[in-house]
Amino acid sequence: MSRESPHLIVVADADALAKAAAERVLARIGHASGRVAVCLTGGSTPQRLYELMATEPYRSALPWNLIHWFWGDDRYVPQDDPRSNAGMARRRLLDRIPVPAGNIHAIATGGASAQEAARLYEAELRRFYGAERLDPERPLFEMVLMGLGSDGHTASLFPGHAELEEKERWVTGVDEAGLEPFVPRVTLTFPALASTREMLFLVSGHDKREVLTRAFSGANLPATRAYCDGEIVWLVDRDAAPEHRDVA
Ligand code: 6PG
């Protein structure tokens, strides 16, 4: 599942999950003294977290001027489309706080294709990082948030898709999504997602229990193939918690 054993934290419910995640974000970047990058995830699970971060005590405690926001994946739709991951994070978080416009690095979806958007985003990430190669000693991100699909996908890395094997590119287009919404996607690859001090999976709800049980039983799923230069943490609520685990 990772280079080191993943750390599983089980909390009571979706509200507790959002709070625990916000506390981890705060602990990780609250005291940043220079520019830091955070990679956001899409879907429904992180929505409460994003709303929570726009409220106290997080609102006053996070160094908004220093945080640069990126996305692990997006659907190739305009930002005002309800399916847009960037649009969702803007409405629930970024539009509600004093974040400099230059700190928001959304995946551009108005161009020729998802493949072209991936090339542009890769160039943007490389510019921000200041090098063509990722150095495990100097991760690109402080934190990467990740989700888990019922088929085991994470970001837009779907089971059986060629993008799972990508070793060189940081970002790639996905012409056909493996799950709804069936629109082209743009996704960071495993090597780019791995370049972080903390990879935090957020998983909530009963309908994730089966796939999470498979993940923690060693199944080969995109989410379990994700690796990380830093720490991998699975933050899950009790409804989603894998069976046969000793949960708190
Ligand atoms: C996307 C995602 C995706 C998501 C999972 C979980 O754009 O679809 O980023 O990887 O995190 O599908 O989504 P839910 O939180 O909605 O279950």
Q: Atom 14 of ligand 1 has which residue's CA nearest to it?
A: 43
Distance 43 CA to ligand 1 centre (A): 4
Q: What pLDDT is attached to residue 2?
A: 47
Distance 34 CA to ligand 1 centre (A): 30
- Rounded to two decimals, the pTM is 0.96
Under DSSP, the state recorded for 5 is: P
φ and ψ of 37, to 5 deg = -120, 140
What number does the ligand 1 atom closest to the CA of 181 have?
Answer: 8
180 and 158 Cβ atoms separated by less than 8 Å: no
d(CA 98, CA 172): 31
Ligand 1 pocket list (CB less than 6 A)? 41-45, 73, 75, 85, 147-149, 153-156
Which candidate, 148, 125, 130, 170, places its Cα nearest to that of 215? 148
What number does the ligand 1 atom closest to the CA of 155 have?
Answer: 10
Q: List the domains of the chain with CATH numbers.
A: 7-185+222-231 (3.40.50.1360)
Each residue's pLDDT, cut to its tens digit, for the chain (248 residues) gives 544 567 999 999 999 999 999 999 999 999 999 999 999 999 999 999 999 999 999 999 999 999 999 999 999 999 999 999 999 999 999 999 999 999 999 999 999 999 999 999 999 999 999 999 999 999 999 999 999 999 999 999 999 999 999 999 999 999 999 999 999 999 999 999 999 999 999 999 999 999 999 999 999 999 999 999 999 999 999 999 998 654 33
What number does the ligand 1 atom closest to the CA of 147 have?
Answer: 11
